[in-house]
Amino acid sequence: MDQDEAAIPLEMEDGHSTNLKDFDDDGQPRRTGTVWTASAHIITAVIGSGVLSLAWSMAQLGWIIGIAVLIAFSFVTLYTSSLLADCYRSPDPVRGKRNYTYMDAVKVNLGSMQIWLCGLTQYTNLYGTAIGYTITASISMAAINRSDCFHENGDKAPCHPSNNPYMIAFGLVQIIMSQIPDFHRLWWLSIVAAVMSFTYSTIGLGLAIGKVAEGNFHGTLTGIDVGTVTQAQKVWRVFQALGNIAFAYSYSMILIEIQDTVKSPPAENKTMKKATLLGVSVTTTFYMLSGCLGYAAFGNNSPGNLLTGFGFYNPFWLIDFANACIVLHLVGAYQ
């Protein structure tokens, strides 16, 4: 399509006219995403409240293996994401037909028989992720309640609010937000969610730095020793730590959808690869800082979550704010 053809006005059924230049080659409204918006989507998808459990994962693995695993998973994520970015258009990554979802890419590249296995795996993953987000958000909301209770009645007060009302509230919010038409076009929601993730991660990081600055530097090369826990518990915790780190980097199931928001030229795969490099670099930096400094602050006694596990009690208002940021982030990330 040349420039003259692109500027031809079309008469619509409602009497309004439009130009072909307002649409992409597939007839959809022209995409406007850039490296920066795609990076924001990636950071929102990747950096979740799981970053706050990395100190616990480091405690199971120790300094050597813990840092090595974090770096290894970052390279694996970067490499596999680059491969997947080339699958957005098929058979040619620049001029081929668009694949709008991960399942579309699987169908085109692996055949229709594989799409059933892909669909089962992807929806199981999404189902588990949705449950995880709901539970995590409810824990953060309950943690705000507990924090206020401890502040008013002391650290030894019996403050044990139920998570169930918060789960129900979070679910109702998601049902309402799911009714918003063209929700995927609310690009600013990813920006807000990314800011929230940076905020609570930075707060957790800052609190850990403060504890280390007080002279509390802990940790061992191999993590928790057998003896403190049984050999079976050690093995189980190591695998759980590896799973936590792997899950913390996971966003392949929505990479194609993110790429479908990117404008061209340049080719979408080139833009997406740059966005992936930026997004993975930022998240890895945060993960390294949060995991290492959290482990240095608490050592092998690192809580499962720095903010909801009450590794910190004060300042209570800052803990409450950080947990509120977690909730807001998960509201956006769930969608």
113, pLDDT greater than 70? yes
* Mean pLDDT of the region 277-299: 86
What's the pLDDT score for residue 192? 80
What's the pLDDT score for residue 25? 61
Highest mean pLDDT out of 18-27, 74-83, 96-105: 74-83
* Pairing state between β 89-90 and 97-98: antiparallel
What's the pLDDT score for residue 271? 86
What's the pLDDT score for residue 5? 44
What's the pLDDT score for residue 75? 92
Task: Decide which of 167 and 22 is more confident.
Answer: 167
* Mean pLDDT of the region 269-294: 86
pTM of this structure? 0.74
Per-residue pLDDT tens over the stretch 208-238: 888 888 777 777 787 788 777 888 888 898 9
Q: Which residue is it, tokens 């969608």?
A: 335
Structure tokens at 333: 């990330």
What's the pLDDT score for residue 7? 44
Highest mean pLDDT out of 68-82, 173-187, 218-232, 315-329: 68-82
* Mean pLDDT of the region 191-215: 80
- For the four alpha carbons of 247, 252, 257 and 260, in that order, the dihedral sign comes to positive
- For the four alpha carbons of 307, 312, 315 and 317, in that order, the dihedral sign comes to positive
6, pLDDT greater than 50? no
- Mean pLDDT, all residues of the chain: 79
* Mean pLDDT of the region 145-167: 76
What's the pLDDT score for residue 2? 46
72, pLDDT greater than 90? yes
Q: Which residue is it, tokens 């209570």?
A: 316
DSSP string, 15-52: S-EEEGGGB-TTSSBPP-B-HHHHHHHHHHHH-SGGGG
26, pLDDT greater than 70? no
Q: Tally Cβ neighbours within 10 Å of residue 228.
A: 10
Grouping H, G, I as helix, E, B as strand and the rest as coil, residue 222 is coil
- Chain centroid, CA 50 distance in Å: 8
Percentages of the chain per state (helix, strand, coil), in multiples of 5: 70, 5, 25
